[in-house]
Amino acid sequence: MEDIQSLKDFLQLPRKIVITTHANPDADALGSSLGLYHFLINLGHEVKTIVPNSYPDFLEWMPGNSLVINYEKSKEEADKLLNEAELLFCLDFSGFGRIKSMKVVAAQIAAKVALVDHHLNPEIEPDFDFWNDKSAATAELIFDLIADYSGKEAITRDIAECLYAGVMTDTGSFKHNSTTSKVHRMVADLIDLGADVNKVSRLIYDTNSLHRLKFLGHALAERLKVIEASRVAYFVIEEEDFKDFKLKQGDTEGLVNYALSIKGIVVAAIIIDRENEIKLSFRSVGDFAVNKFAEEYFSGGGHKNASGGMSELSLEETEQKFKALIEKDILKTRVK
């Protein structure tokens, strides 16, 4: 938080601020954005939150949701706000490639840029830098930013619940290696500041549709494949599955973890055929760095044990490419 003083100096005057986050926002992306939104509004700035595209409806309970601008739906309004902004906050991503069509305008506006993110290899060169790849979630960085800026008391119940949602999901409900004692101390503070943790976790995890649960059964029974020799398990989700099970955005989220939960499996993946694009997600336990794998072969990135990318090949070709490369790379790691 070295740049906190220069940010404070810049925010002495009321400013026009835009907060944005990566495409297909998850709970950390949206929770950290809305947490920061409420903080900056309370300081008296003019603040807008713009997301590159829509997010799943299990995030719509977040306070401030109705004020979020969807770039794909309101491009004209969003471009105007971006062009007029004096400060652009980039949250939970560190390369403009991750904000899709918003990149064209956002990457060349006059606004100063503040980066708050925990992904490896940042590409953005910010004026105010709050990047830290040791953080469990961008929500943790926003918590630190607010605490350093104004003191923890500035965290209202609304902010606390947005940040709790971010850190709960990005740590896999406090199970990943990123779950430090500091994370638990922060959560203790969030509870003291009013966060209802049972409410937030039910709103995020216990709002399944029956369709989604039936799809889960189908995916486990029909779409899960295991390459035992390489200790890899992966799902291939076909376009028909979306129609057959009336799937909505976000309904495939978390599925990949079932593949990783199989005893002995060290790398898991999900390959999804969706809207003219094949999306891949990777997870690993231990040494195999799935962010490097995603970066090298699938124009993606992320963290060592959780990453994602995309493919322009067909679903079948993508699966073949994935299989060949993962078997080769896993072998390489073992030989070392």
Name beta bridge partners: 117. Answer: 131
Measured from each CB, the residue nearest to Mn ion is 28
Q: Does 140 bind Mn ion (CB under 5 A)?
A: no
**Contact with Mn ion (CB under 5 A) among 22, 28, 62, 87:** 28
d(CA 139, CA 168): 9
User: 28 touches which of ligand 5GP, Mn ion, none (CB within 5 to 8 A by kind)?
Assistant: Mn ion
State which residue, 39 or 282, has the beta carbon closest to ligand 5GP.
282
State which residue, 93 or 143, has the beta carbon closest to ligand 5GP.
93
Cα→Cα distances 278→218, 274, 275, 326, Å: 20, 6, 8, 17
User: 301 touches which of Mn ion, ligand 5GP, none (CB within 5 to 8 A by kind)?
Assistant: ligand 5GP
Closest CA relative to residue 254, chosen from 306, 301, 196, 292: 306
Question: And the tokens for 123?
Answer: 């590409």
Question: And the tokens for 184?
Answer: 């638990």
User: 303 touches which of ligand 5GP, Mn ion, none (CB within 5 to 8 A by kind)?
Assistant: ligand 5GP
State which residue, 170 or 251, has the beta carbon closest to Mn ion.
170
CB of 146 to Mn ion, least distance (A): 17
CB of 23 to ligand 5GP, least distance (A): 8
d(CA 111, CA 70): 20
CB of 118 to ligand 5GP, least distance (A): 8
d(CA 33, CA 164): 12
Residues whose CB is less than 8 angstroms from the CB of residue 262 and which lie 6 or more positions away in sequence, other chains included: 226, 233
> Interface residues for ligand 5GP in 42-71 (CB under 6 A)?
none
Q: Does 216 bind ligand 5GP (CB under 6 A)?
A: no
Write each residue from 168 to 187 as x if it is in contact with Mn ion (CB under 5 A), else as -, in one continuous string: --x-----------------
Q: Does 310 bind ligand 5GP (CB under 6 A)?
A: yes
Cα→Cα distances 231→161, 195, 259, 331, Å: 38, 40, 11, 11
Q: Does 306 bind ligand 5GP (CB under 6 A)?
A: yes
Q: Where are the beta strands (DSSP E) in the chain?
A: 16-21, 46-51, 69-70, 87-91, 112-117, 128-131, 224-227, 232-237, 267-274, 277-284, 301-302, 306-311
Give the count of beta carbons closer than 10 Å to the beta carbon of residue 93. 25
Which uninterrupted H or E stretch holds 332? helix 315-335
State the Cα angle at 298 between 293 and 300, rounded to 5°: 80
Candidate ranges 109-117, 145-153, 188-196, 308-316; the one touching ligand 5GP (CB under 6 A): 308-316
**Contact with ligand 5GP (CB under 6 A) among 308, 318, 326, 330:** 308
**Contact with ligand 5GP (CB under 6 A) among 52, 64, 166, 300:** 300
Q: Does 307 bind ligand 5GP (CB under 6 A)?
A: yes
> Interface residues for Mn ion in 92-131 (CB under 5 A)?
92
**Contact with ligand 5GP (CB under 6 A) among 21, 49, 169, 281:** 281
Q: Order the strands of the 224-227 sheet from edge to edge.
A: 224-227, 232-237, 267-274, 277-284, 306-311, 301-302
CB of 297 to ligand 5GP, least distance (A): 12
Chain residues binding Mn ion by CB under 5 A are 28, 92, 138, 170
Chain residues binding ligand 5GP by CB under 6 A are 98, 119, 281, 300-303, 306-310
